[in-house]
Amino acid sequence: MTVDRERVRALVHELLGAIGEDPDRPGLRQTPQRVADAYAEFFAGVGEDAAAPLAHTISVSSGPAPDTVPSGAVMLRDIRFRSMCEHHLLPFTGHAHIAYLPGEQVVGLGALPKVVGILASRPQVQERLGEQIADTIMGSLDCRGVLVVLDATHQCVTTRGEQQADASTVTIAARGDLAEPAARAELIALIGAGPGR
């Protein structure tokens, strides 16, 4: 799906008038188009197939490195993401940490940030975003378990209401063998042991 930039531009022009501003003054004249262009980027994931980046897999037993079959989890930490809170249309930004227990197939590590990016580029709530990432990976890869930890700062918390500038939200989504807290404890510890922590 493509964002209707012209419609967004017209609506932002109207919104500026609704808040008491003059949308035609020099400082705001280009704002409706700038917002339309930004929204086209922010919401590029609407209607996109989040599983598409996982379509190309690599066999661990007969692939290019059969002598390096992983005996434990594959983890990618500190995947930067940004999304828009569907409640206030304010951004939230943070890091995703993803681990999965591979079966016979693995995926290139670059595919995991693409999944996050597609799902984050929609109106979202953090809790659902983590669940969608976990479901997409579990449903598309030959894996025994998935763990997704999201740590994000929400502008609806930091810039409005109580204005808690240092508050961040952590959510966990787990599937398969990693659904039990004891099974994922080591991975949670590894996430917390990353650089700068």
CB 87 within 8 A of CB 53: no
Is 85 among the annotated ligand-binding positions?
yes
How far apart CA 145 and CA 150 sit, in angstroms, is: 17
Is 88 among the annotated ligand-binding positions?
yes
> For residue 50, what are its two tokens?
């989040």
> For residue 19, what are its two tokens?
């808040």
How far apart CA 11 and CA 59 sit, in angstroms, is: 50
CB 28 within 8 A of CB 16: yes
CA 187 to each of CA 106, 123, 178: distance values in angstroms, whole numbers, following the listed order: 18, 29, 9
Neighbour order of strands in the sheet with 91-102: 123-124, 74-85, 91-102, 143-154, 169-176
How far apart CA 62 and CA 66 sit, in angstroms, is: 6
CB 22 within 8 A of CB 28: yes
Annotated binding residues for Zn(2+), written as ranges, equal 85, 88, 156
